[in-house]
Chain A
Amino acid sequence: MSRSVVIVGGGIAGQAVCEQVRERDREATITLVCGEVSPPYDRVRLSEILVSGEDPKTLELRPAEWFADQRVDVRCGRWVTAVDTAAREATLDDDTALAYDALVLATGSQPLMPPIPGIDLPGVHPFRTPADCAAIHAAAANGTQHAAVIGGGLLGLEAARGIAAQGTTVTVVHLVDRLMERQVDAGAAALLVPALAELGIDVLLERSTECIMGPDRARGLRFAGGDELAADLVVVSVGIRPETTLAREIGVACERGIVVDDAMGTDHDGIYAVGECAQHRGRIYGLVAPIFEQARVAAEAIAGEDALYPGSVLTAKLKVAGIDLVTAGEAGGEREAIVADPDAGVYRKLAVSGGRAVGAVLLGDTRGAEALVAAVRSGEPVDDPLQALADASALGPADLPDTAQICDCNGVCKSDLVAAVADEGCATPREVMARTRAGTGCGSCKPAVIEIVAAATGGLNEEPAYLCPCRKQTREQLAETIRADGHESVSDVAAACGTGRECGTCKPALAYLVSEVRANQHREERDARYINDRVHANIQRDGTFSVVPRMYGGVTTPDELRRIADVADRYEVPMVKVTGGQRLDLLGVRKQDLPAIWAELGMPSGHAYAKAVRTVKTCVGTDFCRFGLGDAIGLGTEMEKAWEGLHTPAKVKSGVSGCPRNCAEATVKDIGCVAVEGGWQVRLGGAAGGNVREADVLCTVETRAEALRVTTTFLQYYRENADYKERTYDFVPRVGLETVREVVLGEESGAALRQRLKIAKAATSDPWLERDDPYHPSQFSDLDEPGEQEPELALVGPPPEGAR
């Protein structure tokens, strides 16, 4: 009979145990009891969403399908209420009974909230869950005057950074005389203070908070000694308390944490503990790498293998943008080699005891971090610490030994990354990360992963973004040639530069570039275009096409709807669907029916098949909505008419919302406008596809006309400067919002952009008019009708000319 494993706790530890058990035992019945309502997420990266304000969903460790694929039964929002250790059965709060062979307690920890007066006031938050994170983010972004973080450890500093990133000043209050005293020595800690100051974070050391002053909500801190600090947001991050409630209730031996042996077993047979709730050889680990090691050992023990957990070497990386800090092992040793450049904020130290590396601290200059961490982890013999420190700085990740661990979160070694490239055919860092999971935990090893993959793939990833990789020509170079030499077509450019001749995959990019540089007064060559741009419809998986007529702002009429219905009937269109962009899509249309369908619709092309201006999605705005502040339909229609027919490097989806409720989802569009009190907020670079990205706020303008002008200016800037297939959500961060602002809002530069757009726009026409004027008689037809009676064979055998 297959083994039954019940894991209690849906955090990183629970998830890790789950994965490790499944890896060793395909048959085991695995149940994950997860008290939170969502499946396990990556708590380590919590500070990232505090900075970005992104949806906590981005932290999910595995998508829902993974649990289904791996046959892991996840019970979200459920709690274990009782365990019969003799009968080996756990009971949930919905009275479900789960029999187990192995019960793994991965209950994690609770934030330690010191029992000082005022700790329960509104405005005081722990920093532990996505809900805490959301509350802190919201407070910091909206009207907080000054924030205080109690606790200057790793997590406290990350929280402070997240708050400072919202533009709120913040003071870190720490009990002892140096920050992060568990990980760094006095020398490095001293340099941390000015580095934090640069980020807008003040530090107060040796301050014991006596109370949080109220009375109605947090107003400030009072310290022992009487001095005070005004603060209307207080984040408490002074440590963790292992969550042992369940363990104690069922009689498992606990001290500070649940006591485990070297196989992660408790004093009860079949019950294990892993993660922040577990106490091993007197130590409790609050970092992710040890948790992963513990999960592996527990899974080995459950599978009946020899399992030994000797304890972990602690390594830490501070995830605070602007400060590079890596530590491993002890903060000091018998011998210490230190290299420091305080003015540059650099401090590097290697600690050696008994002739072996025992600790490293690297601040400001983390070159060779992977090598030094590997040396500390394996206790490498070191004769000359100063030399070892110097040697390490010359070592890039690519020079590391194969056994060096690159991703501490997921325990991935360099050899695993190289194997993913060499044996499994991964070609890009992204593929390697998906395959090995490296870089998917805290993300701090991503640069090392990228470097190793680049070395393993021959450095391809460091090349510039070539439009034509065969001829190593960039978009900028080619645009310059087209401009200078007056090329009018793809074949002209190919003749001059050799581009598009070898693999041909860049021909559509060249076709766009020629049309853009020549303001649509180029010579069109359809063989360089995708089929979609040859027949002005979107090819579907079965070779049929979809037809989306233009409906400005998503507004239609009864007459248009009647025509669409008639066409759908007459041509037996298999599906009529409302699209995400508020249009109607006729799906499954045969190529040869396209011209007649367009004629009968009598509506212009919606460009749903092209890299072009697509739809402008709108809400009903002021026309009907009770809440509308601005005329969303009016502005959306104006935008769509002003841009219709313009091709772009990649598709451009827009939206206009008439109030901040944002029903048109304008904050996740390439170009979005949101009516706010007193004007329009203009946003750029949003995405709601494979990635979700909140659009950046370009500016807020007072009138609809200004909103139209600013967005139009940006459209042309994007048309001229983005790489082919580069969506705005990659383009805007690449060039930087500040640069976009400067050019688009600049008086002269903006006027010039609008002038060029006007010229390009004047040369556009509705491509569906090609129904009456095809570029070739067979533009919309094959040589026969597929599926029709095969024509009489005109000739069998060699042709007469050949028979002579």
Chain B
Amino acid sequence: MTPAAAPPLAPPALTYACDVEDVPLGEGRALTLDGRRIALFRSFEGWFALDDACPHSGGPLADGIVCDHAVICPLHERRFALATGDALTSDDEAATAHEVEVRAGRVFVAVAAERSAAAAA
């Protein structure tokens, strides 16, 4: 028995993060996964995850305002795209983005090793 199409590389493993109702709609919350502090966002457009440290000066992105597929850092109001981590209003480096999947009310995160893993996805 052979699988129809095996992916060339194994995707990062999914790790359980929280239940859907643990994060208020339109906000973010932080947690540690695989030794990394990650900001998990429940935006109106879906779930996203970024490293919790703003590339500019380490601000807690989980405490930022979420809108239009982006988060605004609470310290200096720089905006980052939720899906890619790209800096939208500054020339900061991108924040590392992580894949999120929701299954049956449970939220899972695939913690990316590098930014490229998420950007390529």
Given contacts A782-B30, A795-B15, A795-B108, is CB(A530)–CB(B65) below 8 Å? Answer: yes
Is A796 located at the chain interface by the 8 A CB criterion? yes
Q: Are B103 and A801 in contact (CB under 8 A)?
A: yes
Residues in B whose Cβ lies below 8 Å from that of A777: 22
Is B98 located at the chain interface by the 8 A CB criterion? no
* Residues of chain A in range 516-556 having any CB-CB distance to chain B below 8 Å: 525-532, 534, 539, 541-543
- Size range of the chain A interface in the assembly: 35 or more
Interface of B (DSSP majority class): strand
Residues in A whose Cβ lies below 8 Å from that of B70: 503-504
Q: How far is the CB of A186 from chain B (nearest CB, A)?
A: 57
Residues in B whose Cβ lies below 8 Å from that of A782: 29-31, 62
Q: How many A-B residue pairs have CB under 8 A?
A: 110
Q: How far is the CB of A98 from chain B (nearest CB, A)?
A: 43
The 8 Å CB contact of B23, one of A502, A507, A778, A801, is A778
Please, what's the 1-or-0 string for A755-767, where 1 marks a CB less than 8 Å from any CB in chain B? Answer: 0000000000000
Please, what's the 1-or-0 string for B70-86, where 1 marks a CB less than 8 Å from any CB in chain A? Answer: 10101101010000000
Given contacts A530-B74, A539-B74, is CB(A507)–CB(B67) below 8 Å? Answer: yes
Is A1 located at the chain interface by the 8 A CB criterion? no
Q: Are B30 and A539 in contact (CB under 8 A)?
A: no
Residues in A whose Cβ lies below 8 Å from that of B67: 500-505, 507
Please, what's the 1-or-0 string for B17-41, where 1 marks a CB less than 8 Å from any CB in chain A? Answer: 1100011111101111101010010
Residue of A nearest to B21 (CB): A777
Residues in B whose Cβ lies below 8 Å from that of A542: 58
Q: Are A527 and B30 in contact (CB under 8 A)?
A: no
Q: Are A504 and B68 in contact (CB under 8 A)?
A: yes
Is A783 located at the chain interface by the 8 A CB criterion? yes
Q: Are A527 and B57 in contact (CB under 8 A)?
A: no
Q: How far is the CB of B92 from chain A (nearest CB, A)?
A: 14
- Size range of the chain B interface in the assembly: 35 or more
Query: In the complex the two chains form, what is the Cα distance from A407 to B16 in whole Å?
Result: 62
The 8 Å CB contact of B64, one of A503, A531, A795, is A531
Residues in B whose Cβ lies below 8 Å from that of A504: 65-68, 70, 72
Residues in B whose Cβ lies below 8 Å from that of A226: none
Residue of A nearest to B74 (CB): A531
Is B55 located at the chain interface by the 8 A CB criterion? no
Query: In the complex the two chains form, what is the Cα distance from A529 to B57 in whole Å?
Result: 22
Q: Are A505 and B104 in contact (CB under 8 A)?
A: no
Q: Are B14 and A798 in contact (CB under 8 A)?
A: yes
Given contacts A504-B65, A794-B16, is CB(A527)–CB(B23) below 8 Å? Answer: no
Q: Are B66 and A786 in contact (CB under 8 A)?
A: no
Interface of A (DSSP majority class): loop
Q: Are B27 and A505 in contact (CB under 8 A)?
A: no
The 8 Å CB contact of A541, one of B57, B65, B72, is B57
Q: Are A505 and B77 in contact (CB under 8 A)?
A: yes
Given contacts A503-B79, A504-B72, A525-B26, is CB(A790)–CB(B32) below 8 Å? Answer: yes
Residues in B whose Cβ lies below 8 Å from that of A626: none
Residues in B whose Cβ lies below 8 Å from that of A530: 65, 74
Q: Are A784 and B13 in contact (CB under 8 A)?
A: no
Residues in B whose Cβ lies below 8 Å from that of A528: 26, 65
Query: In the complex the two chains form, what is the Cα distance from A503 to B104 in whole Å?
Result: 31
Q: Are B30 and A531 in contact (CB under 8 A)?
A: no
Q: How far is the CB of B41 from chain A (nearest CB, A)?
A: 10
Q: Are A778 and B74 in contact (CB under 8 A)?
A: no
Residues in B whose Cβ lies below 8 Å from that of A344: none
Q: How far is the CB of B31 from chain A (nearest CB, A)?
A: 4
Q: Are A783 and B79 in contact (CB under 8 A)?
A: no
Query: In the complex the two chains form, what is the Cα distance from A503 to B68 in whole Å?
Result: 6
Query: In the complex the two chains form, what is the Cα distance from A527 to B108 in whole Å?
Result: 22
The 8 Å CB contact of A508, one of B14, B35, B65, is B65
Please, what's the 1-or-0 string for A772-804, where 1 marks a CB less than 8 Å from any CB in chain B? Answer: 000111110111101000100111111101100
Q: Are A541 and B75 in contact (CB under 8 A)?
A: yes
Given contacts A527-B24, A530-B74, A778-B22, is CB(A786)–CB(B63) below 8 Å? Answer: no
The 8 Å CB contact of B68, one of A501, A799, A802, is A501
* Residues of chain A in range 161-193 having any CB-CB distance to chain B below 8 Å: none
Query: In the complex the two chains form, what is the Cα distance from A529 to B27 in whole Å?
Result: 10
The 8 Å CB contact of B15, one of A505, A507, A783, A796, is A796
Query: In the complex the two chains form, what is the Cα distance from A7 to B47 in whole Å?
Result: 64
Residues in A whose Cβ lies below 8 Å from that of B27: 526-527, 534
Q: How far is the CB of A335 from chain B (nearest CB, A)?
A: 55
Q: How far is the CB of A544 from chain B (nearest CB, A)?
A: 10
Q: Are B24 and A778 in contact (CB under 8 A)?
A: yes
Q: Are B31 and A783 in contact (CB under 8 A)?
A: yes
Q: Are B106 and A799 in contact (CB under 8 A)?
A: yes
Q: Are B65 and A527 in contact (CB under 8 A)?
A: yes
Q: How far is the CB of A71 from chain B (nearest CB, A)?
A: 28
Residues in A whose Cβ lies below 8 Å from that of B33: 790
Given contacts A527-B66, A795-B14, A801-B103, is CB(A783)–CB(B72) below 8 Å? Answer: no
Q: Are A778 and B29 in contact (CB under 8 A)?
A: yes
The 8 Å CB contact of B59, one of A543, A795, A796, is A543
Q: How far is the CB of A500 from chain B (nearest CB, A)?
A: 7
Residues in B whose Cβ lies below 8 Å from that of A783: 17-18, 22-23, 29-31, 40
Query: In the complex the two chains form, what is the Cα distance from A75 to B35 in whole Å?
Result: 55
* Residues of chain A in range 460-502 having any CB-CB distance to chain B below 8 Å: 500-502
Residues in B whose Cβ lies below 8 Å from that of A507: 65, 67
Q: How far is the CB of B74 from chain A (nearest CB, A)?
A: 5
Residues in A whose Cβ lies below 8 Å from that of B14: 795, 797-799, 802
Query: In the complex the two chains form, what is the Cα distance from A530 to B66 in whole Å?
Result: 10
Residues in B whose Cβ lies below 8 Å from that of A502: 67-68
Q: Which residue of A503, A775, A779, A801 has the most chain B CB atoms within 10 A of its CB atom?
A: A503
Q: Are A793 and B16 in contact (CB under 8 A)?
A: yes
Residue of B nearest to A539 (CB): B74
Q: Are A801 and B29 in contact (CB under 8 A)?
A: no
Query: In the complex the two chains form, what is the Cα distance from A338 to B119 in whole Å?
Result: 68
Q: How far is the CB of B18 from chain A (nearest CB, A)?
A: 5
Query: In the complex the two chains form, what is the Cα distance from A13 to B101 in whole Å?
Result: 67
Q: Are B66 and A531 in contact (CB under 8 A)?
A: no
Q: How far is the CB of A471 from chain B (nearest CB, A)?
A: 12
Q: Are B75 and A539 in contact (CB under 8 A)?
A: yes
Query: In the complex the two chains form, what is the Cα distance from A796 to B12 in whole Å?
Result: 10
Residues in A whose Cβ lies below 8 Å from that of B24: 526-527, 775-776, 778-779
Q: How far is the CB of A727 from chain B (nearest CB, A)?
A: 18
Q: Which residue of A500, A543, A783, A796 has the most chain B CB atoms within 10 A of its CB atom?
A: A783
Residues in A whose Cβ lies below 8 Å from that of B17: 783
Query: In the complex the two chains form, what is the Cα distance from A505 to B77 in whole Å?
Result: 8
Query: In the complex the two chains form, what is the Cα distance from A527 to B29 in whole Å?
Result: 12
Query: In the complex the two chains form, what is the Cα distance from A784 to B64 in whole Å?
Result: 18
A-B contact list, 20 entries, CB within 8 Å: A501-B68, A502-B67, A503-B68, A505-B65, A505-B77, A531-B63, A531-B64, A539-B60, A539-B63, A539-B74, A539-B75, A541-B59, A543-B60, A778-B24, A782-B62, A783-B23, A786-B37, A796-B15, A799-B106, A802-B101
Nearest 7 CB-CB pairings of A with B: A504-B67, A527-B26, A783-B31, A794-B16, A531-B63, A543-B60, A782-B30
Known: A505-B77, A798-B13. 13 other contacts (CB 8 A): A501-B67, A504-B66, A504-B70, A529-B65, A539-B74, A777-B22, A778-B22, A783-B23, A786-B37, A795-B16, A795-B108, A796-B13, A799-B14
